Amino acid sequence: MVLAAYPLITTTELQATRDFYVGHFDMTVVFEATWVVMLSIGEDAPICLGLMTPDHPSHPPGPEIFDGRGMIVTIQVDDAAETFARLQENAAPIVYGLHDEPWGQRRFMTRDPAGTLVDVVEQIEPAAGFWDRYLRE
């Protein structure tokens, strides 16, 4: 039986990346050591994101330091516009501005100190017929 699954990002910016998720998205540190941090979306919630330094003691295997390519962390919020404004006020880097997407998301993107793209989304009504061409019969 699987108990949990979560991404683990290897970064040289452990504390800054922890502070990014705690400060901007109210995540909770559920475990922290000198080389690893586990975050959740609340004290009693399961782990949703792990952060680890490249000099962790659990070698082998790897992993190498994350280079910012090939991964997006999606954080679903109840109000993307409010979250966007708050992150702008706090000087978080915005790499894709606030947009209403035809597939049914109001979203923007930021980047954490480890280089990970963070897609902040609010579910909204999709444009009429948008999904018709993509759904499998």
Helix (H) or strand (E) holding 83: helix 80-89
Angle (CA) 132 135 137, round 5°: 110
Does the pTM exceed 0.75? yes
Q: Could you give the maximum distance between any two Cα atoms of the chain, in Å? A: 52
For the segment 18-60, what is each residue's pLDDT rounded down to a tens digit? 999 999 999 999 999 999 999 999 878 889 999 999 888 776 5
Q: Is the previous residue joined to 113 through a cis bond, with omega within 30 degrees of 0? A: no
For the segment 66-108, what is each residue's pLDDT rounded down to a tens digit? 888 888 999 999 999 999 999 999 999 999 999 999 999 999 9
